[in-house]
Structure 1
Amino acid sequence: MTARYDLPSGSSASAAPAGAADPQPALGTPGRLRTAIALAFLGAALTGLGPLIGLTSPPVAAAYPAWPLLLVLALLAPALAAAFARTGTPVAAAAVLVGPAAFAPGRLAQDVQFATEAGMAARPELLRATSLLNFEPAIGWWLLAAGHVIVLVAGVLAAWGTRESGAGTQRQGLLTTALCAGVLGAVAVLMAPFSSDDPYLPAETALDGPLPVLIGSALLAVAVPCAAGLLAGSTDLDFARGGLLGVAVSLFAAVLPPLVSVLVLDEVTFAWGPLLGLVATAALLLLGLRAGRGENSEDVDDLRLPALTRLLALAGVFALLAGAVAVLAALTPHVSMPYGLRDPSEYPARLLLPAGILLGLAGAGMLLPKFALLLRPVLTVLWAAVPLAAAGSLDAVFTAVQAAGAAAGLGAWAAGASVLFAAVAAVLAAIAGAVERDDVDLTEMAMRRSVLAPSLVALVLGAGAFSLPVLTAPGYSAPGVFTDFGTTSWGLVLALAAVVGATALAPMCRPGQAAALLCGAALLVAVRVLEHPLTAERLPGSAPGLGLWLGLGCVVVLLGTAFAARATAGRTA
């Protein structure tokens, strides 16, 4: 199904022959869309001019005159929508406004910080406090907040005017790549915007920041991959193109000001978060430009991919090999320590045992033709359990080698090899999925609401499970995605990305594949949860962390959602 903007009943499009193609209507811009674009311009103007008027009372100036930049960034999306509308592509114009609307709640929540404790906002482009005075929100802040609300209304109004009609195909490659770019953008908005030694410019990650900043950043982190995935999943080329471009310019507007602050101010220095955001922006921009191009069916027909059964078998072999090597890594020493020093990798390596067993069982099952297709989606998610487990042990090995002059043992090499084999298995399983979908009619695929809502809940719980520690102890700071980032953190990032991808794709997949994806995600989160019972005794006074309870809740929700997804098969048959 493709998205089309509602047209008057007397239009030429409605009078077109039934057998004709469903071209983009070359009519004037619908009134509802014109209103949405006008509101988007108004909201953008308010968000750009509000800081110029002043956000606080008593007034505090920005660290540099950034309001022209902020105004231009805010106007990018409505200007792009107006350009699409003027060229006769109202569907693309409407889709452009969806991205800023998805970002608006998060941006508004972040800006609430100026109304509560402006000095802790760490937004030098808007305000730079020089004292600990109590600030009150001024008229500029109310204009800024109103601008975000109006942008949200404009996006809802624009999307409300689209309807499903015509025919089209959903391109899984575009959807998958957009989700990956969205996950990268989500990580970017949760990281510190810059580094600073200025006490009035606290450079903190979202998890370490004030509550409004945490809530706003979390909303943005959810909005980026969800909006990118849902818009890229449209079967209408114009809707996918406009939507991805709208998300790209919205993310660009969020990550560029911190980079400009680094260039302009001596007090702040570079941090990786905004740069990752720019990379995600560039990826979404390229995807949006490519989404508007049709596919050459002859080229697709000429493409000869390996047989599905061979791909499934190869994926199973590599998964089985990865699982076996991971178990070997768990049972053999990782480092040879100097006399009198204890091996720091002993406890982290324990997590390789359940990860290896689960992946090995999945690989063995894929070698059985009866279960291969059923387990393929599980493997595309579960493979991340091996790097999740291996990252912690390898982190300990690297530390021991550098700090104590230890020598890497067989277990360390086996852990690294298991990650490589698991990645190969995942790639083969993904290619097998692409081949499998070639023989499936995807034109009637639709979003399953009974799966969507619990999947979003599982996404939030999973994000907490991998972002927050599952184990706490006095004087112990657990490696995380947004705090104490190190080698262990890369395993957490990969696992989190796998869970996000599974929960975002499941509502749009066929019932069996959706259930398998969610079960794979549940097993992956379960490996994360097992970190507490397997490694808690290494730390005196250890206690369960918030991540443990969120992980347990995520496993329950994922399994329940998998059951709900499977149940929809009977209703759609």
Structure 2
Amino acid sequence: MTARPDLPSGGSSASAANPQLVTSQLRAAIAVSVVGAVLVGLGPLVGLVAPSASAAFLAWPLLLVLALLPAGIAATSVRFGRPAIAAAVLVGPAVLAPGRLVLDAQFVADPGLAARPELLKLHTLQLFSPSIGVWLLLAGHFAAIVAGVLAVRGVGPSDERPGANRQGLLALVLCVSVLAAVGVLMAPFASDDPYLLPKPALDAPLIVLVGSVLLAVGVPSAAGYLAGSVDQDFARGGLLGLAAALAGVVVPPLIAAAMLVEISYSWGPVLGLIAVFALVALALPAGRTRTGEVDEDLHLPALNRLLDSSAVLALIAGALTALAAIAPQVEMPYGLRDPSSYPARMLWPAGIVLILVGVGLLLPRLALRVRPLLPVVWVLVPLAATGVLDAVFTAVQAAAAETRIGAWAAGVAVLFAAAAAIVAAVAGAVERDEVDLTEIAMRRPVLIPALISLVLGAAAFALPVVTAPDYTAPGVFTEFGTASWGLLIALAAVVAAAVLAPMCRPSQAAALLCGAAVVVGVRVLEYPLTAERLPDSAPGTGLWFGIAAVLALLASAAAAGRTKAA
């Protein structure tokens, strides 16, 4: 994901260097991509298992069209003389292909556990063996990998001056990719059919788990690599290709839910589809060339004014969060216990952190050091508020309870916290333009501990912190409810901080990682603050992962602080 001027580049210079080599390699890559797409479409048409069993609906034309999308975009780009776009379009499918290949390998191991109605629908418990269609399907994914390698080799380094990188765009792309990564780890649909048993990645068979994790890692990795390119055509084409490849993963479950009565929509593919549209939308600014000419009519607010505004918004959010913790959340009918009192305890650390960050932003000597914390730690407010609102919604629906000021204050606090984070992010962009115009560079001493922290932090939010008999905690991948949205937002912030930190300046990287440590630390506090409400409660696996993640994030922050800016 390092921004480098020697990445594949578009324009006439690459073609001029050796036009015959570029054209032949790109044409070969596109041809291989087309062959792979045809194989993906032929697989379910020929049949994946013996004895023969078909898909739940006529899906192979849809699969063929989705698989042909990258090749079609690449061929069109070559036709219009944009080889860098054509090459980059095939990178995303190549990066996601290993995960898709492993997922489809489940048909070789046990077709009955694949839960892929667009490819296969079984109606019996008899044993099935893989047929030629499976091997065609796997060969199609392998062809996508080969096409990506050929495409990147088919466009040489550019002799043109690269355009300037925009860290804000890179951050947006990474956030969108994290959303997609979470989506592919969730169950693809809900089902009432005993022969279609979809499960989230953590509960799925080992092969499905590995394939899902490869997809979840591949999406942000490809997004960061492509969006971080100094070549605008390569960045634009890469995001378009990644969106097309992701569509091939998330669209079939959505179509299956629309076509079949026995299954219904799940949040996973919906999040993935949102990410697809977002990547397409971000491909346009990724391809805009920045020159030395600046629009004089466009003036960003002064950095100090932005810092003060974010401080005020953070203080208001923190005060509202503290008010929500003090005030009653709900008025229960006589004789019924208030279910929101224990979740409301989580509002205290969230409010205190926001107030402290707001105060730090008002102090001139600390403002620039504290500023990177806010775009991360703001998620503490929705993390705490969604747990409270979940209890309130349940009480209102099940017991005809009445909402009180505490619940309203928690909801409004989320809005102010989000606004504070947005303003702080804009301040970061202004600060970078005014203070440091160096290129983004990957700092390897920070990369490895940050990635370890990412895995531990993800487990802290994916696994329960508190366990008890007859109690199932809200989760990101299981028992998804109102409280799960807070977990999902917090998880996205921790992942984004760990991904961005190796590319940031030392002080900013350390602040991001410290902010992520604070977020995970508040997640850990859920056990001592709320465990009393559950009889025979015990620490969950997520608690230990959370403690380890806090230590790893702090160690990563220390490594980042010691690293010299590139």
TM (norm. structure 1) is 0.90
Q: Which residue of 2 aligns with 1:314?
A: 309
Q: Which residue of 1 aligns with 2:115?
A: 122
Q: Which residue of 1 aligns with 2:19?
A: 27
Aligned ranges for residues 245-324 of structure 1 at < 5 Å? 245-295=240-290, 298=293, 300-324=295-319
Q: Which amino acid letter does the alignment assign opposite residue 166 of structure 2?
A: R
Contact 2:163 2:291 in 1 (8 A): no
SS at match of 1:256: helix
Q: Which amino acid letter does the alignment assign opposite residue 95 of structure 2?
A: A
Q: Which residue of 2 aligns with 1:69?
A: 62
Select between 410-419 and 553-562 the one with higher mean Cα deviation. 410-419
* Residues 329-364 of structure 1, C-alpha deviations (whole Å, 9 max, x = no match): 323432232332222111111111112222221111
Q: In 2, Cα distance between the equivalents of 1:402 and 1:124?
A: 35
Q: In 1, Cα distance between the equivalents of 2:471 and 2:62?
A: 42
Q: Which residue of 1 aligns with 2:320?
A: 325
* Residues 250-290 of structure 1, C-alpha deviations (whole Å, 9 max, x = no match): 01111221233234333333344333332321221122234
1:400 partnered with 2:400: no
Q: 1:479 to 1:164 in 2, by over 3 A?
A: farther
Aligned ranges for residues 78-477 of structure 1 at < 5 Å? 78-159=71-152, 163=157, 166-295=161-290, 298=293, 300-442=295-437, 444-477=439-472
**Alignment root-mean-square deviation, CA:** 2.6
1:55 partnered with 2:41: no
Q: Percent identity?
A: 61
Q: 1:122 to 1:99 in 2, by over 3 A?
A: same
Q: In 2, Cα distance between the equivalents of 1:460 and 1:45?
A: 36
- State the 1:299 CA deviation: 5.4
Contact 1:319 1:360 in 2 (8 A): yes
Select between 130-139 and 85-94 the one with higher mean Cα deviation. 85-94
Q: In 2, Cα distance between the equivalents of 1:454 and 1:155?
A: 29
- State the 1:248 CA deviation: 0.7
Pick from 550, 558, 563: which aligns with 2:558? 563
* Residues 36-56 of structure 1, C-alpha deviations (whole Å, 9 max, x = no match): 434333333333323333222
Contact 2:163 2:289 in 1 (8 A): no
Q: 1:495 to 1:326 in 2, by over 3 A?
A: same
SS at match of 2:284: helix
Contact 2:442 2:502 in 1 (8 A): yes
Q: In 1, Cα distance between the equivalents of 2:220 and 2:78?
A: 26
Q: In 1, Cα distance between the equivalents of 2:502 and 2:333?
A: 53
SS at match of 2:351: helix
- State the 1:320 CA deviation: 2.5
Aligned ranges for residues 529-540 of structure 1 at < 5 Å? 529-540=524-535
* Residues 373-421 of structure 1, C-alpha deviations (whole Å, 9 max, x = no match): 1111111101111110111112112222232233333432332232232
Select between 262-271 and 106-115 the one with higher mean Cα deviation. 262-271
Contact 2:51 2:129 in 1 (8 A): yes
Q: Which amino acid letter does the alignment assign opposite residue 186 of structure 2?
A: M
Q: In 1, Cα distance between the equivalents of 2:374 and 2:261?
A: 48
Q: Which residue of 2 aligns with 1:19?
A: none
Contact 2:74 2:87 in 1 (8 A): yes
Q: 1:379 to 1:164 in 2, by over 3 A?
A: farther
SS at match of 1:530: helix
Contact 1:169 1:442 in 2 (8 A): no
SS at match of 1:569: coil
- State the 1:367 CA deviation: 1.0
Contact 1:27 1:88 in 2 (8 A): no
Q: 1:444 to 1:69 in 2, by over 3 A?
A: same
Q: Which residue of 2 aligns with 1:494?
A: 489
- Aligned length in residues: 560
SS at match of 1:224: helix
Q: Which amino acid letter does the alignment assign opposite residue 141 of structure 2?
A: H
Select between 249-258 and 458-467 the one with higher mean Cα deviation. 458-467
Q: Which residue of 1 aligns with 2:506?
A: 511
Q: In 2, Cα distance between the equivalents of 1:68 and 1:5?
A: 33
Contact 2:184 2:216 in 1 (8 A): yes
Q: Which amino acid letter does the alignment assign opposite residue 66 of structure 2?
A: L
SS at match of 1:438: helix
Q: In 2, Cα distance between the equivalents of 1:535 and 1:297?
A: 56
- State the 1:232 CA deviation: 1.5
Q: In 2, Cα distance between the equivalents of 1:25 and 1:290?
A: 28
Q: Which amino acid letter does the alignment assign opposite residue 37 of structure 2?
A: A
* Residues 87-145 of structure 1, C-alpha deviations (whole Å, 9 max, x = no match): 33222222112101221122122112212221121111111111112222223222322
Select between 246-255 and 273-282 the one with higher mean Cα deviation. 273-282
Q: In 2, Cα distance between the equivalents of 1:162 and 1:568?
A: 32
Contact 1:26 1:89 in 2 (8 A): no
TM (norm. structure 2) is 0.91
Q: 1:49 to 1:179 in 2, by over 3 A?
A: same
Q: In 2, Cα distance between the equivalents of 1:335 and 1:65?
A: 50
- State the 1:237 CA deviation: 0.4
Pick from 533, 539, 548: which aligns with 2:543? 548
Q: In 2, Cα distance between the equivalents of 1:158 and 1:450?
A: 31
Q: Which amino acid letter does the alignment assign opposite residue 307 of structure 2?
A: L
